[in-house]
Amino acid sequence: MTIPTVQFNDGNSIPQLGFGVFKVDPAGTERIVLDALEAGYRHIDTAAFYDNEEGVGAAIARSGIPREELFVTTKLWNDRQSGDEPLRAIDESLAKLGLDHVDLYLVHWPAPAKGDYVNAWQKLVEIRDAGKARSIGVSNFLPEHLAAVIEATDVVPAVDQIELHPAYQQRDVTDYAAARGIRIEAWGPLGQGKYPLFEEEPVAAAARAHGKSPAQVVLRWHLQQGNIVFPKSNSPERVRENLDLFDFALTDAEQAAIISLERGGRVSAHPNEVN
């Protein structure tokens, strides 16, 4: 099995399918990430705020997989955006991960009430230039936030990691990003179980047609839309199932039917409200 890669605007590439550790218990992170690596994942998405970078690092060390075969993302939390805090934060994350660089470092939220996200982005440029992150990007940024950091630095983020699932597709953000070569990473790709996505007829019908689970259908939809995804699961069986997406393809009609499920159904916080 070969997981496709997506190229960034800086020339680097990322596996389009990865494994996320949001809300994964720090005590169990090493085991769960090791299971994912053994299943075939090579892209791991964590964050300082998740408090499980140490477990990710321990799993990487135990796996024996060469560093150059892995893609590791972590993120700068909101309370570390001012002054030189981002420079200290990346060093702390690297120490916990046991790495000398990450492949992608993100500003986790714009936190506009703090007024520091432009400074944070400027420091991420320094972090990239120092070789501590191969690529840099943002998460939960709206067009106005993206415009501000690009104007301040002339550096376009490689990615914007945003809430995105069939009921909430954020076309304003995705269109803005596409016009500037910013790749979209979809977090909460299955809607976090907060609405009956798998019972929606377009999803259920495609699952029946292809002999796949509804989750596999939605993840395949993301891939065919060009999104980068990193579903999480504590179940080894589900971890493997989420990787089994490359022996079928949705038709144009099936993709369109899932696109039609858009209803502005955000299930998490608005980026301007997380500070």
Name the strand (E) or helix (H) holding 240. Answer: helix 236-241
Which CATH number covers residue 113? 3.20.20.100
- Considering the entire predicted model, what is its pTM? 0.96
For residue 185, give Cα distances in angstroms to 65, 163, 173.
24, 8, 12
pLDDT band, residue 137 (cuts 50/70/90): very high
| Domain assignment of residue 262, yes or no | no
Residue 181: inside a domain, yes or no?
A: yes
In-domain check, residue 251: no
Indicate the SS3 state at residue 77.
coil
**Cα distance between residue 54 and residue 62, in whole Å:** 12
Which domain does 51 fall in, by range? Answer: 5-194+227-233
pLDDT of 25: 85
Examine residue 212 and state whether it is found in any structural domain, yes or no: no
117 is catalytic: no
Q: How many domains does the chain have?
A: 1
Instruction: Indicate the burial class of 240 (C-beta count within 10 angstroms; 0-12, 13-18, 19 or more).
Output: middle
| pLDDT, position 2 | 87
Q: What is the reported pLDDT for 194?
A: 87
Q: Is 246 among the domain residues?
A: no
Please work out, in degrees rounded to the nearest 5, the angle formed at the alpha carbon of residue 227 by the alpha carbons of 222 and 207. 10
- Asked if 9 and 35 count as a contact pair (C-beta separation under 8 A), the reply is no
Given 41, 50, 105, 168, the catalytic residue:
50
- For residues 56-83, average pLDDT: 97
Identify whether 268 is part of a domain: no
Answer whether residue 263 is part of any domain. no
Which tens digit of pLDDT belongs to each residue from 216-253? 999 999 999 999 999 988 888 889 999 999 999 999 99
Q: Note the pLDDT tens digit of each residue in 95-130.
A: 999 999 999 999 999 999 999 999 999 999 999 999
Q: Is residue 163 part of a domain?
A: yes
